[in-house]
């Protein structure tokens, strides 16, 4: 099987690529992988250094918004796994344009290329944020899309474009919607890597509002295992939520990170809440569990401790990224 992985130099995409090439995704042990990535600010080849010399790996620098680049790179591949996206909510609040260009137009260009080159399956990686905010209970895959941030709206647009190409053109598509990921190689603008790296350096951490916003946390390894299941066994045209099963408020998460880095709450700086900040996300994983046998394997406390230690041991990876992005 030849996989064409867009955004494969980013956080989740690179983890999927490493797991596939290291034989850690059952059923994909013999897959070859082409990473197609524009290498924007959050994508870096250092994320792929451990697999760069593998014979089943190829890297192509390219932009999903450019049809000619896709037409040159895509022929001969069996499956597209589409991670490429602008994903930082704060950036979408200040400049939504690139989110629409990449997440909506870029996805449409990729779908058109998949149709033209007869790709057998298109796996679209989305987010639980397309559902909006939920006060209690869980979203299942039949919930209407009610996005509140420009980022979430752009991902909802890409989800609908994927659905349209399935229904209109018969393209074999499956969509996943994940909860908040954490793990190594996470670009340090996101909450866990930002807070961990700040705390390791004795710097304060900015906590939005009252810290009561709640998220479900999913280890990136579990997410990638879920994606591999959907890729191989998901029903065409369907959507599958992938969650981790650990719900925490941002304040609770911050307290765990303070303890893990041996700091105290004097380093918390409460800041004005993000515009349009969703209060709570929570997805049901009943569908992917019952149909495909998915269950999260990483215990959150163990996974978080491992992540803190990874950042402690890998300053050479994150310090240049923070300096470049002025974080």
Cα distances (Å, whole numbers) of residue 41 to 9, 66, 125, 158, 314: 11, 18, 20, 21, 19
> How many Cβ atoms are within 10 Å of 96's Cβ, its own excluded?
16
The DSSP line for 120-144 is: SEEEEEEEGGGG---SSS-B-TTSP
Spans of the chain below 70 pLDDT? none
Domains along the chain with CATH numbers: 2-182+218-242 (3.40.50.720), 191-215+248-279+300-325 (3.90.25.10)
Question: What is the reported pLDDT for 273?
Answer: 78
Question: What is the reported pLDDT for 89?
Answer: 87
Of 292, 193, 177, the C-alpha closest to 244 is: 177
Known catalytic residues? 128-129, 151
Q: What is the maximum span of the chain, computed from C-alpha positions, in angstroms?
A: 57
Of 107, 158, 127, 118, the C-alpha closest to 2 is: 118
> From CA 72, how far away is CA 320, in angstroms rounded?
33
């Amino acid at each position: 099987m030849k996989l064409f992985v867009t955004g494969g130099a980013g956080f989740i995409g690179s983890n999927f690529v490493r797991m596939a090439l290291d034989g850690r995704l059952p059923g994909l042990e013999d897959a070859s992988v082409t990473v197609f990535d524009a290498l924007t600010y959050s994508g870096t080849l250092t994320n792929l250094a451990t697999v760069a010399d593998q014979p089943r790996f190829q890297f192509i620098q390219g932009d999903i918004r450019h049809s000619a680049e896709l037409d040159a790179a895509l022929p001969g591949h069996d499956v597209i796994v589409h991670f490429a996206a602008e994903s930082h909510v704060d950036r979408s609040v200040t400049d939504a344009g690139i989110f629409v260009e990449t997440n909506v137009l870029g996805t449409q260009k990729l779908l058109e290329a998949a149709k033209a080159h007869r790709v057998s399956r298109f796996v679209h990686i989305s987010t639980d944020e397309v559902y909006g905010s939920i006060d209690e209970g869980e979203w299942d895959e039949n919930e209407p899309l009610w996005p509140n941030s420009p980022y979430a709206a752009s991902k909802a647009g890409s989800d609908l474009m994927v659905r349209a190409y399935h229904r209109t053109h018969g393209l074999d598509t499956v969509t996943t919607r994940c909860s908040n990921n954490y793990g190594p190689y996470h670009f340090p603008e996101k909450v866990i890597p930002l807070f961990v790296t700040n705390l390791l350096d004795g710097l304060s951490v900015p906590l939005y509002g009252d810290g009561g916003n709640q998220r479900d946390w999913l280890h990136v390894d579990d997410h990638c295992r879920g994606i591999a299941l959907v890729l191989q066994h998901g029903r065409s045209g369907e959507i599958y939520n992938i969650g981790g099963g650990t719900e925490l408020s941002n304040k609770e998460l911050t307290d765990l990170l303070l303890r893990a880095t041996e700091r105290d709450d004097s380093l918390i700086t409460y800041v004005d809440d993000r515009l349009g900040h969703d209060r709570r996300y929570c997805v049901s994983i009943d569908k992917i569990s019952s149909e495909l046998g998915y269950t999260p394997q990483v215990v959150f406390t163990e996974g978080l401790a491992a992540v803190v230690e990874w950042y402690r041991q890998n300053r050479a990876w994150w310090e240049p990224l923070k300096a470049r992005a002025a974080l």
